[in-house]
Chain A
Amino acid sequence: MATDLQRAVAAPAAVAVRALDKSFGAQHVLQGVDLDIAPGEFTALLGRSGSGKSTLLRVLAGLDTEYGGEVAVPARRAVAFQDARLLPWKRVLDNVVLGRRGKAARAQGLAVLEEVGLADKAKAWPHTLSGGEGQRAALARALVREPELLLLDEPFGALDALTRLKMHALLRRLWAVHRPSVLLVTHDVEEAIALADRVLVLTEGRISLDARVELPETAPRRSREFADLRDRLLAELGVAESER
């Protein structure tokens, strides 16, 4: 029944979730989540570990099909995980076009690799890539599907701080060009504010905070607004003032 609802894409919002429940045994992970994401909106989902944020992403990705409530998502979705998850036995380009058919797919794959700056690695084996390169390949694999909804599950969590900053800029750039709706699951408050237009906090299976990100054009990361929102989000996540 849940899958029937997924096919009803006619909704004006890219994502429409109503009263979503999900439990593993006696553990209620999601308890009545309501969520709309507009087409082209960049949303970040924060939560402490175990808050159910990855579960919500998996439901939207179609990886979890047993749940209660209603979920409407676009047909064209793509996911990037925390691990690049490249098939070790396929070269980078073949990984990017995995599941795509036809001659156009390879040309398209190359074009996307070019976009993420990995064109010269098209023929490389995945194990020769660095962590950042692997994640860029994973982003390329997601983008080649021209998704209406791009789901990112802590995609930069395993990267070093410098690489992460570069990936942030790349992701923003790619989003500006392709304009998919994005749901970025992360535990990094600053990453969420820096990347998204809207930040959600998931607490005990419910969305407990829904904030717009409005930062000044110049030096947004050092602005007063950034610091204020950061404090608000950290407080919502249960981080005491002395710990910030």
Chain B
Amino acid sequence: MTSIPIKSIGQMDIRAALARLRLDRLRVLIGPVVLVALWQIGSATGLIPEQTLAAPSTVIAAGADLVETGRLQEHLLVSLGRAATGLALGVAIGAALAVVAGLFRFGEDLIDGPMQILRAIPALALVPLAIVWFGIGEEVKVFLVVFATAFPVYVNTHAAIRGLDPRFAELARTAELGRIGLVRHVILPGALPGFFTGLRFATAISWLVLVVSEQINATSGIGFLMTQARSFAQTDVIVVGLVVYGLLGLVSDRLVRFTEGRVLPWRRTFNAR
């Protein structure tokens, strides 16, 4: 007899847990699932030929195979390394230039003009020049990421510094903060939201640039994996590469947003909850 109430409590717990998981959120998955199902049916019935696009099941098998042989991890690590190195350098350069241009009149005159001009050049248009400079090794890929990511960080950080409420500078004077205190307590923390906006753009752009540069001349990386698959018409491997790129973009954006939330807890955001 005692087992009945215990069981009912267990059921209640499960229901409460399901409610907490917010099952209604899973509704967003309906569209993608239907799409993949249609794709699978299309492939199975021959409506979508294998050479055009491999079936989802084939893609999953190819992915599993790539993971099993370790090739995916190997190339993924190379791509990650390039993106991280390029991003770190690009962000550092962009932020440093923005701070110098934002804080000093001469910095503004010296830096902002050239940055606004260079910004108009699509990073990928630099590929031929970059190959002449760096050959086809690692440097060229990292360089392109550095070049492409420095600008969004520069532009957004610089704009944030310029856009700071001048009343805060006035406050700093009445609080006798001094020049260094003004930079430390007012300007830099006030510019952080702009910096993070730039960082998010930069992260997205780093993958974009990497995709292209790894497909042009590379012997490793996810882009190379996809180019190689193209020569053998392995659409399944190509789709695996696409999925990996997509996941990398998604995960890195989430990571930046998570960090942003941690670093800027003072911000009144609508998406915080």
Contacts and interface: CB of A to CB of B under 8 A. Distances in A.
Interface in A36-63: 61-63
Interface of A: 61-63, 77-79, 81, 83, 85, 87-91, 98-99, 125-127, 141
Nearest to A125: B266
B266 to A, nearest CB: 5
B177 A98 contact: yes
Nearest 6 A-B pairs (CB), nearest first?
A99-B175, A89-B189, A79-B174, A125-B266, A99-B177, A127-B268
Contacts of B167: 81, 83, 85
B266 A78 contact: no
Contacts of A99: 172, 175-177, 181, 185
> Most chain-B Cβ atoms within 10 A of its Cβ — which of A61, A79, A87?
A87
B106 to A, nearest CB: 23
A85 B268 CA distance: 16
B168 interface: yes
Interface residues of B, number: 21
Interface string B174-198: 1111000100011001101000000
A87 B190 CA distance: 9
A78 B265 CA distance: 29
B185 A61 contact: no
Interface string B140-175: 000000000000000000000000000110111111
- Provide the main secondary structure of the chain B interface: helix
B264 interface: yes
Contacts of B264: 89
Contacts of A89: 189-190, 192, 264, 266
B185 A62 contact: no
12 contacts: A63-B170, A79-B174, A81-B171, A87-B189, A87-B190, A88-B267, A89-B190, A89-B264, A90-B266, A98-B185, A127-B266, A127-B268
A86 to B, nearest CB: 9
Given A90-B189, A91-B266, 15 more contacts: A63-B173, A77-B174, A81-B171, A85-B167, A85-B168, A87-B190, A88-B266, A88-B267, A89-B192, A89-B266, A90-B185, A98-B171, A99-B181, A125-B265, A126-B266
B61 to A, nearest CB: 51
A61 B186 CA distance: 20
Contacts of B192: 89
A77 B185 CA distance: 20
B197 to A, nearest CB: 15
A241 to B, nearest CB: 38
B5 to A, nearest CB: 44
Interface in B222-273: 264-268
Contacts of A91: 266
Nearest to A58: B170
B174 A63 contact: yes
Contacts of B265: 125
A61 B174 contact: yes
Interface in B82-99: none
